[in-house]
Amino acid sequence: MKRRSLKEIKAALTRRQFLKLTGATAGAATMNLSFAPRALAGGGGQKVLVYLFLRGGIDGLALLPPINGSDHTHLVDARDRTLVNIDDSDPARRPIPLANGQNLGLHPWCGGLADIYHDGGMAIVQAAGHPPNTFTRSHFDAQEQIELGQPLVVDGTGQGLPGSGWLTRYLGSYPGVPAPGAIFTAMVSNNTPPVSLGGWPDVATLDSPDNFMPNTGTFGSTQLAMLSSLYAGAGELDVAAGAALDAIDLINSIDFGSYVPGGGAVYPNTSEGNDLKLIAQLIRQDLGIAAATLDVGGWDTHNNQNVFGFGFGTNVEDLSEALTAFYRDLEGAGYINDVAVVVQSEFGRQVKENASFGTDHGLGNPMFILGGGVNGGQVYGPTLGIAPADRIGDSLVPQTDFRDVLAEVATGLLGHPDVSAIFDDPDYSYSPVGFSV
């Protein structure tokens, strides 16, 4: 099949625009092709929420350790082999002190993120997590409830889980989504959409430039040629299918290999580095993307956690380098003011290390927020600390409801008008954390 130019694809999309109110979207859904027949967005200005989920429960006390005061003393007492210690004899293994950091420091291999923090582009919310009476140390339950935006009361008397993800409700209730001419509104750097986007029909799964899938199914050149010939007419189903095929052509027409990151950013050749690079490229193509998600695993460190070197340390370094490149790329290209990045894990780890050189499931954990509109360079939120008497099950007790963080990103940074449309829970009352300008 002859590849069309980007100009030809845009023209094809524009010709189909007049049918966008005729029900063609329903025809696309019948085919499991969910791209509405709209013209290319272009022009920039679309607000984009990028959501990184660190699956497995990252050790927040190693990522963001106390570096002085009584909590530092308690951490030293609780850990020997899994410690990031301000007193380490090797300067390269000491945490990076954070200005306005409430006596906290970043893991020493997070130099890029520390620079962004001190430049004002990153805020940290400490001791975030599930609200009281909803604590869980189950990976499945904690992840599901976070992504659905609805923790469950432990005794079962609370509101049941909703049928859609919080990102789905964010997109569905945001008047600016889809932007005029958007090609697709949400992308997933994985094979399948996460729970947070459950129920949202307009999702593209794209984990590499060679593996583009509108919802499900991979299309090769033969299949594309056959579909193009089958749906070449003017009916609603033809138009809807054609719009989806045009979107695939559009992705195929982008020269990913010649991409030049903004600001001289250099992406690491790692899974998260390549994924974030791809997300940045598509954001900069002005396709109308309003949300992008990325999962990063490897944080369930019960055994041989290895805070420095292969293991936790390497994972943290890879995460920091990828996020730093993504931020500097969009900053240099002039897009960072329209992007908000949230980094979250389902829970933290216990204070005491275990007998297997690792840490077990805990509760409270930091959340990171990056973007041009962030009132960064500060650590937000209260904490009870990690004195033995202040722990629950040897864990840091969450003090900030994770929904408050997500809600402030949505409303304060991205302009969503209605928190209740995202988190529809009569027991929840939004309390801003303070990191939005």
Per-residue burial over 31-62, b if 16 or more Cβ lie within 10 Å, else e, is bebbbbbbbbbeeeebbbbbbbbbbbbbbbbb
pLDDT the model gives residue 10: 43
- Give the DSSP per-residue string, 408-428: HIIIIIT--S-HHHHS--TT-
pLDDT the model gives residue 376: 98
- φ/ψ of residue 365, rounded to 5: -160, 155
pLDDT digits (tens, 9 = 90+) for 97-137: 999 999 999 999 999 999 999 999 999 999 999 999 999 99
pLDDT the model gives residue 254: 74
User: What value does the mean pLDDT take over residues 347-367?
Assistant: 98
User: Mean pLDDT of all residues in the chain?
Assistant: 85
> Which range among 8-12, 56-60, 120-124, 304-308 shows the weakest confidence by mean pLDDT?
8-12
pLDDT band at residue 73 under the 50/70/90 scheme: very high
- In percent, the amount of the chain with pLDDT more than 90 equals 68
pLDDT the model gives residue 90: 93
Which spans in 181-288 are helix H? 221-230, 236-253, 271-284
Looking up tokens 């969910």 gives: 34
pLDDT the model gives residue 397: 98
pLDDT the model gives residue 411: 97
pLDDT the model gives residue 210: 59
Residue predicted with more confidence, 206 or 260: 260
Percent of the chain that is helix, strand, coil (3-state, to 5): 35, 15, 50
Distance between CA 205 and CA 210 in Å, rounded? Answer: 11
**Contact between residue 212 and residue 206 where contact means Cβ atoms under 8 Å apart:** yes
| Cα Rg of the chain (Å, integer) | 22
Residue predicted with more confidence, 320 or 2: 320
pLDDT digits (tens, 9 = 90+) for 164-190: 999 999 999 999 898 877 778 999 988
Strand partners, 188: 205, 293
pLDDT at 22 over 90: no
Closest CA to 262 of 278, 288, 291, 284: 284
pLDDT the model gives residue 231: 56
User: What value does the mean pLDDT take over residues 336-359?
Assistant: 97
pLDDT digits (tens, 9 = 90+) for 36-53: 333 333 335 789 999 999
Residue 254 burial (CB count, 10 A): 15
pLDDT digits (tens, 9 = 90+) for 240-295: 555 556 666 666 667 778 899 999 999 999 999 999 999 999 999 888 999 999 99
pLDDT at 216 over 70: no
pLDDT the model gives residue 158: 62
Domain 38-209+254-422 classified CATH 3.30.450? no
pLDDT band at residue 9 under the 50/70/90 scheme: very low
Per-residue burial over 212-241, b if 16 or more Cβ lie within 10 Å, else e, is bbbbeeebeeeeeeebeeebeeeebbbbbb
Per domain, the residue ranges of the chain are 38-209+254-422
pLDDT the model gives residue 324: 98
**Contact between residue 205 and residue 193 where contact means Cβ atoms under 8 Å apart:** yes
pLDDT the model gives residue 43: 39
Q: Which amino acid is at 226?
A: M
pLDDT digits (tens, 9 = 90+) for 140-158: 999 999 999 999 987 766 6
Distance between CA 150 and CA 45 in Å, rounded? Answer: 31
pLDDT at 28 over 70: no
pLDDT the model gives residue 36: 33
Q: Are strands 96-97 and 400-401 parallel, antiparallel or unpaired?
A: unpaired
pLDDT the model gives residue 420: 96
pLDDT the model gives residue 289: 93
pLDDT band at residue 239 under the 50/70/90 scheme: low
